[in-house]
Each structure stands twice: as structure tokens, then as C-alpha cells.
Chains A and B, each alone.
Chain A
Amino acid sequence: GAVVSQHPSRVICKSGTSVKIECRSLDFQATTMFWYRQFPKQSLMLMATSNEGSKATYEQGVEKDKFLINHASLTLSTLTVTSAHPEDSSFYICSARRRDRASEQYFGPGTRLTVT
């Protein structure tokens, strides 16, 4: 199978602090990883695309200085929410595109971020 893990699964932080979320492809190499945000009962909204060894590409309206993305290896990408505010509270999901099957993306289990 193609397994993607995310850590942590849930995090609560205080306003003004930063939070790092890790996304790992466990049994395959991922040339590209994606970060999504999802509000309750809604579809996924793409935030940014992360390629190994290069800068992330952010979607329109997503602040790159607020949502820092690092793709250090073919199996790990991190999303850091800096100076978090309550409106950043959401469900963040990463996905990884397989190097050998580019048409398929596999999703992590998501991270529930709550900013108090």
C-alpha cells in the first residue's frame, strides 16, 4: 500500500505561538507533497505544493510567511503555522504523490489544530 502519516494528529496551542506539522510517506518516495486545509463538512482547499529540495509554491491567498513549508527529503515535508491565531484553527491534511505513479495521491490522516 501507500501510507502517509501525519504528526501530531491533534494539537492545541495558544495564540501567537508556532506549530509544526510533519507529513511522512512511509513506504514510498514522494517527489511532491501537498498541504490542504479543510473546514467542517467542506471539501479540501489546496494551500501549497512542496517539491523536494525546492521552495514551495503557494496558492493565491495563502500567506507564505505564515505557513512555512519545508520538504527536506523524498519522504518528509513539514508545515509550520507561525504566530497562530484562532482563525487558523482547522483540519490540515497533507498528501504525497508517488514518484512511480504520478496520477495518484495518497493522503495523511490529518491534523486538527485548535488555537486558543
Chain B
Amino acid sequence: TQLLEQSPQFLSIQEGENLTVYCNSSSVFSSLQWYRQEPGEGPVLLVTVVTGGEVKKLKRLTFQFGDARKDSSLHITAAQPGDTGLYLCAGHPSRGTSYGKLTFGQGTILTVHP
């Protein structure tokens, strides 16, 4: 079973559309990160959220951490072809066998068509 369930796994949209990627868990996370990865490169950290209910904005990207620190979302407004890539959520569980280890969701492959 996956500790962090990320959805959707694939997303293909037109330029200008909005989209939301979800990351859900039954476990509590002390912090959660969102990464973007391009083919042949390592993941690049976009944001870290640590407080329940926290909202962070990065230009057209809005990140939210759930009140109970079990879920998070990434919303992109007016998507552009340059947003194309693999988006990964990852978090540090507060307890359990994965405590202290960065645990990844399955990833979302986003394709934005011109």
C-alpha cells in the first residue's frame, strides 16, 4: 500500500487551463514537499509546507496543506507548456516505520499542449 496517494497519475491539458493535483494519506506528516522533475534530471524542490492549513503561492502555483496535515494539493492556474513535467509530492511521516524518511507519492505526469 502507498503511504501517499497522489492523483491523478496522468494529466493532459491545453494551455490556459487550470488543474489540481492531490496528495492524500491516512497518516500525519510533519512536513510535506512538492517537487517538479524533468526527464533525465533530479527532482527540484518547489515548496515545503509544515503547518496545518498552510497555503503557499509560487507565481501561478498554489500549494495547500490540509488542516490535519494528512493531505495536500497543488493548483496551477493558466497552465503553460513550460509547466510540463513530473510532479511529486513527498512528506516526512510523523510516526511509524517510515518516520524520518521522505516518502513519495506515485507522481503526476503533466503535459500541457500549446
- Please report A residues at the B interface, Cβ cutoff 8 Å: 4, 6, 34, 41-44, 46, 49, 91, 93, 95, 103-110, 112
Contacts and interface: CB of A to CB of B under 8 A. Distances in A.
Interface stretch (B13-21, B44-52, B59-67, B71-79): B44-52
Interface of B: 6, 30-31, 33, 35, 40-45, 48, 50, 86, 88, 92, 101-102, 104-107, 109
Contacts of B92: 103
A97 to B, nearest CB: 8
B40 A110 contact: yes
B45 A104 contact: yes
Highest count of chain A CB atoms <10 Å: which of B31, B43, B105, B106: B43
Given A93-B42, A107-B43, 13 more contacts: A34-B101, A42-B107, A43-B6, A43-B107, A44-B43, A46-B101, A46-B102, A49-B101, A95-B102, A103-B31, A103-B92, A105-B102, A108-B42
Given A103-B48, A104-B48, A41 B42 contact: no
B40 to A, nearest CB: 7
Contacts of A106: 45
B105 A43 contact: yes
A44 B40 contact: no
B109 A103 contact: no
A104 B44 CA distance: 11
A43 B109 contact: no
A107 B42 contact: yes
Contact of B88 (A6, A43, A49, A104): A43
